[in-house]
Structure 1
Amino acid sequence: MKQEEQVLEKVSLSDPAVAAIPVRERDEPLVDLRTVAALRLDGRFADDEGRYAQLRIGVVDRLVTAQTLLPQGFRLLVVEGYRPLTLPRSFEPAASGFGSPHVAGAAVDVTLCTVDEVELDLGAVNAVTTESGYTAEARHNRDVLAEALSGAGLVNCPGAWWHWSYGDRYWAYLTGSPQAWYGPASP
């Protein structure tokens, strides 16, 4: 197991060391992904206001970069970006002292699809599975996703292959940055 994978297994989003990282807000706007042609959106967590399709511009830039790092025929499929504090998910612990990194517009739940927008097998988004709980195809596709997203500078949440972030406290902790760049956002 790689050292980075060991760190990911040991440190949760709600770890006090993560929550202690200060935020030096960059005031980057949220971008509506429905206007970003390079990315595909999935509507399973869509809300009436379209907030699920919003992310900080720095995260969007990295997702577009990650898209270019994928093998031919693969596309990123964004499931959810920004999520207000008033819309927590039952499976999600409070993180970084202000709730999920989704409230900062710094986290994205993402999977893969084909160019024809057929979702690929990576296992269920927001479902905890053990090593034996998914197929070899899902493992391969998860590796493809992880290589592209980490290559673009995003970090992964332990136990949640679909959850990636950039610029939040968890990202700062894993990368050694003395501060996070994004606190809670307002659409």
Structure 2
Amino acid sequence: MKPYQTIPICDCGEPLVPIPGDRFALLHPHPYQTLGAPYGNQSPYYLRSGVLAALLQAQEFLLQQRPGWGIQIFDAFRPLAVQRYMVEHTFLEQVQARGWLVEALTAAQREEVMAEVVQFWAVPSDDPATPPPHSTGAALDVTLITAAGAVVDMGSPIDEVSPRSHPNHFAASNLPDQQQFHAHRSLLNQVMESAGFRRHPNEWWHFSLGDQLWAWQRRQETGSPDFLAHYGRASVDLWVQ
């Protein structure tokens, strides 16, 4: 169990609503759907209504800082079945990257790989008290695009299982290109924090608002135990078509 999973959830019941494609850049086809992730009739481009309202505020703040720039949505709502599929997919990728065979893994090797995977992927828990952040509709993976529509270089791709994914990986570098990567990541964080989001400690691209991770981070920042999670695992009846 991760520390944030001990935070109590008092779900406010807000619906899942679609992210407007005329306000944000959405990836089509969606990368996980391309891999075969089992979304069924659900879309990855949904958020709780209050989270979407905050995202729109973040977009307005970005436009003030960088006219013409935009927030690109890589991923948002993730059904539990998709979370499980992607954890298994990433596990297999990391096994293959080591030159190992899944069927020949020792217990120690399996534990080593999974320990690396769960730094970046939440365990697909069925327990309603410990939902993966994306399954709440309160977490999303984002990056920035320029006024010309080019994706801003952050120094590593979204979902890379690597130390380069850590938000401050390039912070101490003296190399100009790596200084630029850090500046871009800092801008993204500033934009999202302006609307109340908090960034995942291990992922420059992952932000949330109102889930357990967000509440845990706010407790760490303020020392106050009053922050609770407003969003638990999103159920089918919250879905707004």
TM-score scaled by length of structure 1 = 0.82
| Preserved CA contact (<8 Å) 1:25 1:182 | yes
Whichever residue aligns with residue 40 of structure 1, its letter is A
* Structure with the larger helix share: 2
Per the alignment, do residues 143 and 157 of structure 1 end up closer, same or farther by CA in structure 2, a change over 3 Å counting?
same
**Is 1:121 aligned to residue 153 of structure 2?**
yes
Amino acid at match of 1:140: A
1:38 is matched with which residue?
23
**Offset from partner CA, 1:99-147 (integer Å, 9 cap, x none):** 4200000100000112343211112101133325973332111111000
8 A contact 2:10–2:228 mirrored in 1: yes
- Indicate the residue corresponding to 2:49 in structure 1: 57
Give, in angstroms, the shift of residue 172 of structure 1: 0.9
2:182 to 125, 135, 139: 139
1:101 aligns with 2:144: no
CA contact (8 A) 1:110 1:163 kept: yes
Identity of paired residues, percent?
Answer: 29
**Post-superposition offset of 1:67:** 0.7
Aligned counterpart in structure 2 of residue 150 of structure 1, from 193, 198, 209: 193
Give the secondary-structure state (helix, strand or coil) at the position aligned to 1:172: helix
Task: Decide whether the 8 Å contact of 2:70 with 2:145 is kept in 1.
Answer: yes
**Separation in 2 of the partners of 1:80 and 1:93?**
14
The answer to whether the 8 A contact 1:81-1:109 is kept is yes
Q: Secondary structure at the match of 2:184?
A: helix
Q: Distance between the aligned counterparts of 2:53 and 2:43, measured in 1?
A: 18
| Structure 2: gaps of 5 or more residues | 34-38, 88-116, 220-225
Distance, in Å, in 1 between the alignment partners of 2:132 and 2:181 is 26
C-alpha distance in structure 1 between counterparts of 2:124 and 2:197, whole Å = 17
User: Offset of 1:45 from its aligned partner?
Assistant: 2.8
Q: Which residue of 2 aligns with 1:111?
A: 143
| Superposed CA RMSD | 2.3
Could you give the per-residue CA deviations for residues 74-107 of structure 1, whole angstroms, max 9, x where no partner exists?
2100110000111123241328953420000010
Matched, 1:163 2:206: yes
Q: How big is the shift at 1:61?
A: 0.8
What is the distance in 2 between the residues matched to 1:82 and 1:171?
A: 16
Q: Which has the higher strand share?
A: 1
Cα offsets for 1:151-179 (capped at 9, x unmatched): 11000111100000001011111113431
Residue in 2 that maps onto 1:15: 2
The alignment of Structure 1 onto Structure 2 pairs a total of residues equal to 172
